[in-house]
Structure 1
């Protein structure tokens, strides 16, 4: 595994926090749950430029986004969803998938307030407890909209 992919996988714990994958893309929970259900959608092969995606990867991106949006809407009823492709530090092609909520949301006795609503999302925060992360993942996986 290349350094770009192994560093990315380690930083975002994509193996441990995996939710759903296709042939080309992996959807995982963000270690920092800035909003409930925040995730990372990453290309499974090393690629540091969006323009280098292959046609089949673009086509599959459509499919996986449909699963993500339909699933998160059913599970957490977000108000809007943001996709952020920053790639300044983490060079691997990926999106931060940020469900946005105009009101406070609760899950497992924890509350989230989208402090950036309706503007730019605030991605900062502490890493979520692994038990909470696993509960969120299980809830999402149990309700995948395939």
Structure 2
């Protein structure tokens, strides 16, 4: 796994692994079920990913939508690709919703709804919370 994936807490935050992608729990939860979708390659530009990674992205994003739909019944999914501090290809995935959601031992509102996500309002999780949320979300995963 590349350094960006490790920075987001791998292996403790790993929810699901694919051939080209890793789905991680975001250690700072902006909304319940916030994830990091990270390419496993060493590339630092989206257009440099291999064609098979792009093909697999359709399956991965479909799985994420299904899982988060079951877990938090989101209204929208926001994918942010920033890559300013952490250079490897990755997205921050935020399920967006109007009312509080509960699961995995946490209850979180969407503090920025209905506007753009304010990353400064995220809740930093401790190791116990990470483990509980990873296990909770894995229980919703397809396949």
Q: How big is the alpha-carbon RMSD for the aligned residues of Structure 1 and Structure 2?
A: 1.5
**Which 4+ runs in 1 deviate beyond 2 A?**
106-111
- Please list every run of 5 or more consecutive structure 1 residues that lacks an aligned counterpart in the other structure: none
Q: State the Cα distance separating 1:18 from its structure 2 match.
A: 0.1
Tell me, yes or no, if the aligned pair for 1:14 and 1:29 is still in contact at 8 Å: no
> What TM-score comes out, normalization by structure 2 length?
0.92
- The CA distance in 1 between the partners of 2:113 and 2:134, in whole Å, is 24
Q: Specify the alignment match of 2:64 in structure 1.
A: 68
Matched residue, 1:139: 136
The answer as to 2:17 corresponding to 1:21 is yes
SS across alignment from 1:118: coil
Say if 1:40 and 1:114 are closer, same or farther in 2 by CA, change over 3 A.
same
Query: How far 1:109 moved relative to its partner?
Result: 5.2
Q: Mind listing any 5+ residue stretches in structure 2 that lack a counterpart?
A: none
Equivalent residue pairs, number:
142
Rounded to whole Å, the distance in 2 between the matches of 1:29 and 1:102 is 21
User: TM-score, normalising length from structure 1?
Assistant: 0.90
1:1-146 maps to which residues of 2 (within 5 A)? Answer: 5-6=2-3, 8-108=4-104, 110-124=106-120, 125-146=122-143
